[in-house]
Amino acid sequence: MRAAPTILHLDMDAFFAAAEQASKPSLRGKPVVVGGLGPRGVVATASYEARRFGVHSAMPMAQARRLAPNAAYLVPRFAFYRAISVQVMELLGRLSPLVEPLSLDEAFVDLEAGGVADDGASARAAGERLRRDIRATTGLTGSVGLAGSKMLAKIASEEAKPDGLVLIEPGTERELLGPRSVRIIPGIGPATGEHLRRAGIVTVTDVVEAGEDELVRILGRAHGSSLYRMALGHDDRPVVAERDAKSVSVEDTFDVDLHDRLRIRLEVERLAERCVARLRGSGHSGRTIVLKVRRYDFSTLTRSETLRGPTDDPVVVREAAGRLLELVDTTGGVRLLGVGVSGLTDYTQEDLFAQAEAREAELAGEEAGGPAGTEETAAAAAASPVPPTATESTGRRWAAGHDVRHAEYGAGWVQGSGVGRVTVRFEEPTSAPGRVRTFPVDDPDLEPSEPLPLVPGGATGAAA
């Protein structure tokens, strides 16, 4: 724990959705949901307007559509988000050589190592300057947390959302954390929180008063000791630069233990997709796929598989994780699942973009759920202002939200396609909301296009 709040945590605000709103004037101020649009699709990011309807990340897309039927539903543009992320990470790199990316839109920075801050005033100034630079460079907003530890810096950035800065002065940790729910501590998910609640431990103060021995009795040695230290505000984890990363992983703790084998398999597949998004965000690929399963009795099992070569392909990671699940007995229930990739290696930027774009095209076909022109596709197109994507017989895929250019009308983006037609809204990031026009899917004047920069003179999705 540092004596000065020189650890910074940046979290971009509703990143994927905000990037889409910034590039599409007609969607600004409106609910936008980005994710897989197929029957097994999951929400990657929801705009703050969509969150008011209860939509959140990791939610099944079908549930999101029920909650916010009039939202715009778009397929992710990973190369575009990656280009913006590169710009943001470059700004962080100007503050310090120690930048630890967690994903495309989130990172820790050691301001002390960069010599830009050694007390609260200088740390706040660096954080405010960073927020201004992000807005000027990308047109987007990010929330900043500053504290003497990574745990508290992340808590501070959550408090700062959206588009704010919160600084936690060292020495105030106990006062700040005490009345909060135990769930505020990293690693305490719904199931563990409920387990503690049954033991009469609800707040962080309750954790401290229970004592380390009691927590070890309830949760086991490693988990109980860690929770006790975190509740006291003790977190000495250093900021680790990207080049030092050894693995990338994601995990979810469930409110109720999972028993249905199919549901467990689907959760593992979703975690694999999220893990690959984080893997790509860090600019890595990896050879070893790891599955983590915490069972109903808090016993934790891990299984791993090493591939012949490194990958950042979501299909490869998903299938490997599925094979590993077959090796695990889930009888009795599962409270936590995790998927990770280790044995990391760097990809060149060109290789990364080529893979991302190839996968986007593949996803566009998968999300169609079958050939275009069915009654179901037509009904969906009629019911939604931004219909689901469809794959046409021409072989060209018109994914909802992706960029196009027309020989006569210029730049635009796909609102939807089906029954042999594609609907396009023609507008640019710096224009007024544009008009909508519909074309045959094989119109020779309509072609897929690279994204336009959000800020005049900025980088595009292909160039960054």
Q: What is the pLDDT of residue 383?
A: 29
Same domain, 152 and 12: yes
Query: Does the residue 151 lie in any domain?
Result: yes
Domain assignment present for residue 136? The answer is: yes
Are 67 and 152 within one domain? yes
Residue 358 is assigned to a structural domain of this protein:
no
* pLDDT tens, position by position, 39-67: 767 888 999 999 999 999 878 899 999 99
Positions of the chain with pLDDT under 70: 40, 242-245, 346-396, 457-464
Do 333 and 277 share a domain, yes or no? yes
At which of 352, 384, 404 does a domain end?
A: 352
pLDDT of residue 462: 41
Pair 76, 23: CB distance under 8 Å: no
CB atoms within 10 A of CB 331: 10
Please report whether residue 259 resides in a domain. yes
How high is the pLDDT of residue 351? 33
Give residue 245's pLDDT.
56
Domain termination residue (choose one: 126, 155, 171): 171
Answer whether residue 341 is part of any domain: yes
Give the domain extent around 218.
175-231
What pLDDT is recorded for position 384? Answer: 33
Same domain, 293 and 391: no
Global confidence as pTM: 0.69
Pair 124, 34 in one domain: yes
Residue 161 CB coordination number (10 Å) = 16
Do 39 and 165 fall into the same domain? yes
Catalytic machinery residues: 106
Structure tokens at 177: 């954390």
Q: Quick one: pLDDT at residue 359?
A: 43
Same domain, 197 and 344: no
Residue 187 lies in a domain: yes
Residue 443 belongs to some domain of the structure:
yes
pLDDT at 366: 38
For the chain, how many structural domains are there in total?
Answer: 4
User: 208: domain CATH number?
Assistant: 1.10.150.20
CA separation for the pair 340, 334 (Å, rounded):
17
Q: Say if residue 117 is in the same domain as residue 98.
A: yes
Reference 204, options 226, 224, 229, 177; nearest CA is: 177
Q: Is residue 147 part of a domain?
A: yes
Beta bridge partners of 166: 145
pLDDT of residue 242: 55
Q: Do 160 and 199 fall into the same domain?
A: no
Instruction: Say if residue 213 is in the same domain as residue 296.
Output: no
- The answer to whether residues 14 and 122 belong to one domain is yes
Quick one: pLDDT at residue 392? 36
CATH of the domain at 91: 3.30.70.270
Say whether both 157 and 207 belong to one domain.
no
Length of the chain: 464
Q: Rounded to whole angstroms, how far apart are CA atoms 193 and 138?
A: 38
